[in-house]
Amino acid sequence: MVTHNHPQGGTFSYRDVMSACLHQVQELRAVTPQNTFSLRGGTRKLNLETWTNVSRAVKRLGLTPENAHEVWKTVARENGLNYVVS
């Protein structure tokens, strides 16, 4: 598991998820003053194969800081991952 902070708020960046997939972590967490975001394997694991699909989906959906939460929810659902905000 990799946990890091986002003191200014917001969910994962493209680079956060890319690193998690390339390093095959079991879970990625970002902690903000308001929330904790979690991305982990479900029916698929965070790995290079998953990254290929995730990367395509992110490009198709157009990841921006304003829509990142919705993009990651969609990407997780489409790729068998669990995205949770608490």
The answer to whether 74 touches 53, Cβ cutoff 8 Å, is no
Measure the CA–CA gap between 16 and 84, rounded to whole angstroms: 15
pLDDT of 85 above 90: yes
- 65 pLDDT more than 90: no
In this prediction the pTM is 0.89
User: In angstroms, what is the C-alpha Rg of the chain?
Assistant: 12
Instruction: Report yes or no: 26 and 42 within 8 Å, Cβ to Cβ.
Output: no
pLDDT reported for residue 31: 97
Residue 75 above 90 pLDDT?
A: yes
pLDDT one-digit tens code per residue, 24-53: 999 999 999 999 999 999 888 899 888 999
